[in-house]
Amino acid sequence: MENCFHCGDECRNTVISHHGKSFCCHGCKTVFDILNDNNLSYYYDLERAPGMSPIEQEGKFEFLKNEEIVTKLLEFNEQGTQVVSLLIPSIHCSSCIWVLENLNKLNSAIKTAQVNFPKKTVRITFSSKSLTLQNLAILLSRIGYEPYISLDDITENKSHIDRSLIYKLGVAGFAFGNIMFLSFPEYFEVNEFWLEKFKHIFRWLIFAFAVPVAVYSGRDYFISAYKGLRSKILNIDVPIAIGISVLFIRSTIEIVMNWGTGFFDSMVGLVFFLLLGKFFQQKTYAFLSFERDYKSYFPIAVTRLTRNKDKSTLETSKTEEQVQVYKLVKGDRILIRNSELLPVDSILIKGTALIDYSFVTGEAEPVTKKSGDQLFAGGHQQAGSIEVEVLKPIEQSYLTQLWSNEIFSKNKQSVFESLTDNISKRFTISLLSIAIIATTIWLFIDIPIALNVFTAVLIVACPCAIALAAPFTLGNLLRIFGRYKLYIKDSSIIEQLTHIDTVVFDKTGTLTTNTKNTITYEGISLNKEEQSLLTSTLRASNHPLSRSLYDILDKNNIQTLDDFKEDIGQGITGVINNRSIKVGAYGFVDSKQEKTNKQTHKRTAVHISTNNKYKGCYVFYNEYRNGVKTVFDQLKTSKKIVILSGDNDGEKEHLSKLLPKNTTLLFNQKPEDKLNYIKQQQKKGRNVLMIGDGLNDAGALAQSNVGISISENINVFSPACDGILDASKFQDIPKFLSLSQKGTQIIKYAFIFSLFYNLIGLAFALTGNLAPVIAAILMPLSSISIVVFTTIATYLSGKQLHKPTYK
C-alpha cells in the first residue's frame, strides 16, 4: 500500500501518480501543484508528508462578503492594509509554519504572515485592494489550511492576557537577587571596620528593594488571606500573610532602631519561591479552550433568501444575502447547504433534510425530515441544500437555552476545600498557640526576648514548604497528563479527581467512535449477481448509511444501472437487466409484510429485497472504543458506573454485555435530564466525574464535580469542561484516576517532610537564637528540597502511564 506524498494517508481506492510521486486524491495533488509551482516545495523537505487534503466546500466562506462581519474579524483596517488573525486547527508541524509564513509567494497581496504555533493561529497582513478576506480564506483552504471562523469570533470581546504573575515574579526575583548580594557581607563578618561604616546604606538599600516585594508581589496572599478570614476559612494564605507581615515589620523595626539587618532576605526569598510555585502550577494549553459554549460551534452567518415579488409579472425571484445569525428573526427564509450547520430552530420548507444530530442530542443516526417538519438548531444537514423558515431567533432556540441554566454562571471552584487548606487550618491554629505559649513562658524569664521569640516563631514556621508541595506536585502531574493527552484546565481539578466515586459516561461519541460502524448481515445470503447489483445501486446514493455500507462491500463488477430511483427517507431502487433491487427501510423494501419485530424498528438497519423478495438486512452497530470493557472492569471495583445516553435504547442489549452488572443505564436523556441526574447524585453526596463529548453533555459537564470531554480531534470544538481527553487515550482513564490519587499521597508526604523542617526552625526560634543567616539558609533549603522531592516522586509515579493496558 502506498502512502500519499502530501498527506501521508494510505492511498486506498485510487493512486494518482504525478511527478513521480503518489497521491491519494486530487485534492492532495492540487496542493502539491500549487506549492510546487510557487517554489514552495521546501515544504516537503522539512517534514515527511506534512499536508492535509483540502476539503472543498462550495460557498463556505460566502459570509465573508458581508462587510459587517469582515470588520468585526479584522484586527486592523486602514489605508488599504488589513490585519487578521485566523485560527487554523490543522497547523501541526514546522512545515505548516514555514508554508504559512511564506504565503506571500502564493499571493503578492499578502505582506506578512506570522504563525503562533501553540495557539494555532496565523496573523496575516494583506493589502485589501487586491485581496479580500474571503479570497484569503479560500486561498488558505485550497492548500489545506482551512481557517475556523465561528460565531464566537465576533461576539467575544477579546480578553487581554493576564501577565501580572510574571511581573510579580520578576519583581520578586529581581529584589531577591539584589538583597542576597547586599546582605552577604553581614552574614559572616560582624564588627568589621568598613562594614560598620557602610552597613547603614546596605540595610536601607535592602529595605528599598523589599518594599515593592511586600506591597506588590505579595499582595495576592494578603488579599486571599483576608477573603479567607471573612468567610471564616483558615486557608494556607493566612499563615503566609502573617509570616510576610511579621517578617516585614520586625525587619523594618530592626533597621530603624539599628538593632540588626532584619530578615528581608528570607522574606523576599519566601515570596519568590511561592510565586514560582504559582507560576509552575499554571500550565496552560494555548491551543485549547475550556470555556467554549455553542458560540464557537455555530457559524457566523447564513444565507438568507429574500423574495422579491415582481408585481407586473407576478413572478417571484429570490436574492441570496449573507446575514449574521444574530440578526435572524422569526419568519426569515434561510438556505442551508450540504454539510452546513443549522443555527436556529426552524421549519423545513423545501428539500429533504437528513440531519445529523449526534453532537447535539446524542442520537447516533441521522434523521430524515420532510417539508413541514420542525428542525432544531445544532444539526448538520447531510443531503443537499434545504430551505427553512426561522421559528425562533438564536438565543431562544432549544439548544442555546441550555446555557441559560445557572450552572454555567456558577464558579464551582469555590466550593471545594483543597488538601492544603485542610492542613493549613490545623497548622495555623497550632502555630499560633505555640507562639503564644512560648511568648508567655518567656515573659516570665526575659521580657525583651519574649517579643523576639514571638516573631521568630511566626517567621520560621511560615509554611513556605507546605504551600509549595501542592503546586509543584499538581503542576508536575498536569504536565504528565498533558503528555499523555489528557489536558486539564487547572491543577485543582487533579485534586478533585481523587474524590470521584461515580463515573457517568455518555454513549454516542464517548463510548462509541464517530467514524466507524460495525455492520453485520442477517438473512438469506446474496448471490454474486445480487451483490454486484447491490454495490452498483449503493454507489449512486448519497445517504450516509449507503455510503458506509458501500465502503465495506466488495467493489467488483460495478455495473451501470438501467434505472435508479431514490425515495427520500425511504430507500433506493436500482434496476439492471430487469433485475431490481430495493434497499432501505423495512416498509419500503417489503410492502406486503406488516412490521412484526419491534427490534428492527430501533436498530439501525438497511433492508434488502431483490425482485420484490425480502432477503435480509445489514445491521449497523456503533463501534465501541478500544478498551471500553477494560475501563469498566477497572472502574467497577471502586466506582459506580452510569451511562446516560440521548439515543434510543436500541443498543441496550449490545451495551449491557460490555458493562458490569448493576450498572445504571438510562436512554432518551435530554440535555437537562443529564444535568438533573448529576445534580441528584451530588445531593446524595456523590462526587461525579462526567465523561461526554457533545453539546448535549455541556450541562452535565458543567454540573459534575469534574467534567471531561472526549475528542477525536482536540483541535475541533468541545464543550466547556474541566479537561479534554484525546479519544485514543480512552482506555487510560482508570490510570489517570489512580495517578491523581498518588499525587495527593505525595503531597501528604511532602507535608510531613516540611513539618520536619519547621520543627528544626522552631527549636531555634523557641530558644531565642534565630539569627538572620539561619533563617536565610533554612527557608530556601526546605523549599528546594520539597520541590526536588515532589518532582522526583511525581516523575516516578507518572511512569505507570508508559505501560500500555490494552493492545
Partner 1 sequence: MSIIYMLLAISVIVALIFFAAFIFSVKKGQYDDTYTPSIRMLFEDEIVKEHTTPTQPKTTKNNHS
Q: Which residues bind partner 1 (CB under 8 A)?
A: 39, 42, 45-46, 94, 97-98, 101-102, 104-105, 112, 114-119, 161, 163, 166-167, 170, 174, 177-178, 194, 197-198, 201, 205, 286
H or E element in which residue 111 lies: strand 110-116
C-beta of 92 vs 748, nearer to partner 1: 92
Sheet-wide strand order for 74-78? 74-78, 81-87, 121-127, 110-116
Q: Residues 754-774, buried b or exposed e (16+ Cβ, 10 A)?
A: bbebbeebbebbbebebebbb
Burial zone of 318 (CB within 10 Å; 0-12 exposed, 13-18 middle, 19+ buried)? exposed
Q: Closest Cα partner for 800 from 481, 499, 485?
A: 481
Ordered DSSP codes for 240-277: HHHHHHHHHHHHHHHHHTTS---SHHHHHHHHHHHHHH
Q: Residue 467 Cβ, how far from partner 1 at the closest point, in Å?
A: 25
Q: Closest Cα partner for 35 from 51, 13, 16, 17?
A: 51
Ordered DSSP codes for 139-190: HHHHTT------HHHHHS--PPP--HHHHHHHHHHHHHHHHHHHHHHHHH--
What phi, psi does 341 have (nearest 5°)?
Answer: -100, 140
| Residue carrying C-alpha cell 539569627 | 771
C-beta of 85 vs 741, nearer to partner 1: 85
C-beta of 90 vs 514, nearer to partner 1: 90
C-beta of 1 vs 161, nearer to partner 1: 161
What Rg value do the Cα atoms of the chain yield, rounded? 33
CA angle 132, 26, 22 (to 5 degrees): 130
C-beta of 188 vs 444, nearer to partner 1: 188
Instruction: Name the amino acid, one letter, at 466.
Output: I
Q: Residue 517 Cβ, how far from partner 1 at the closest point, in Å?
A: 38
The partner residues of 487 in beta bridges, in order of sequence, read: 724
Ordered DSSP codes for 621-665: EEEEPTTHHHHHHHHHTTSEEEEE-SS-GGGHHHHHHHSPTT-EE
**Which alpha helices (H) appear in 356-418, and where do they start and end?**
none
Cell of 742: 498518588
Asked whether the beta carbons of 715 and 701 are under 8 A apart, the reply is no
DSSP code for 285 = -
DSSP code for 115 = E
Q: Residue 98 Cβ, how far from partner 1 at the closest point, in Å?
A: 5
Q: Residue 428 Cβ, how far from partner 1 at the closest point, in Å?
A: 34
C-beta of 178 vs 648, nearer to partner 1: 178
What phi, psi does 525 have (nearest 5°)?
Answer: -70, 150
Q: Residue 163 Cβ, how far from partner 1 at the closest point, in Å?
A: 6
What phi, psi does 691 have (nearest 5°)?
Answer: -120, 115
**C-alpha–C-alpha distance, residues 227 and 759, integer Å:** 29
**C-alpha–C-alpha distance, residues 233 and 229, integer Å:** 5
C-beta of 119 vs 425, nearer to partner 1: 119
Q: Residue 275 Cβ, how far from partner 1 at the closest point, in Å?
A: 14
| Residue carrying C-alpha cell 462587510 | 67
Instruction: Name the amino acid, one letter, at 435.
Output: A
C-beta of 116 vs 791, nearer to partner 1: 116
What phi, psi does 559 have (nearest 5°)?
Answer: -115, 160
C-beta of 281 vs 541, nearer to partner 1: 281
C-beta of 42 vs 756, nearer to partner 1: 42
| Distant-in-sequence, close-in-space partners of 635: CB < 8 Å, separation ≥ 6 | 503, 641, 733, 734, 737
Q: Residue 116 Cβ, how far from partner 1 at the closest point, in Å?
A: 5
Q: Residue 212 Cβ, how far from partner 1 at the closest point, in Å?
A: 11
Asked whether the beta carbons of 107 and 132 are under 8 A apart, the reply is no
Q: Residue 114 Cβ, how far from partner 1 at the closest point, in Å?
A: 7
C-beta of 130 vs 440, nearer to partner 1: 130
C-beta of 62 vs 101, nearer to partner 1: 101
DSSP code for 48 = S
C-beta of 102 vs 132, nearer to partner 1: 102
Q: Residue 115 Cβ, how far from partner 1 at the closest point, in Å?
A: 6
What phi, psi does 677 have (nearest 5°)?
Answer: -60, -45
Cell of 227: 477573603
C-beta of 105 vs 318, nearer to partner 1: 105
Q: Residue 49 Cβ, how far from partner 1 at the closest point, in Å?
A: 18
Q: Residue 125 Cβ, how far from partner 1 at the closest point, in Å?
A: 9
DSSP code for 417 = P
C-beta of 90 vs 546, nearer to partner 1: 90
Q: Residue 90 Cβ, how far from partner 1 at the closest point, in Å?
A: 16
Q: Residue 118 Cβ, how far from partner 1 at the closest point, in Å?
A: 5
Q: Residue 117 Cβ, how far from partner 1 at the closest point, in Å?
A: 4
C-beta of 42 vs 259, nearer to partner 1: 42
Q: Residue 782 Cβ, how far from partner 1 at the closest point, in Å?
A: 28
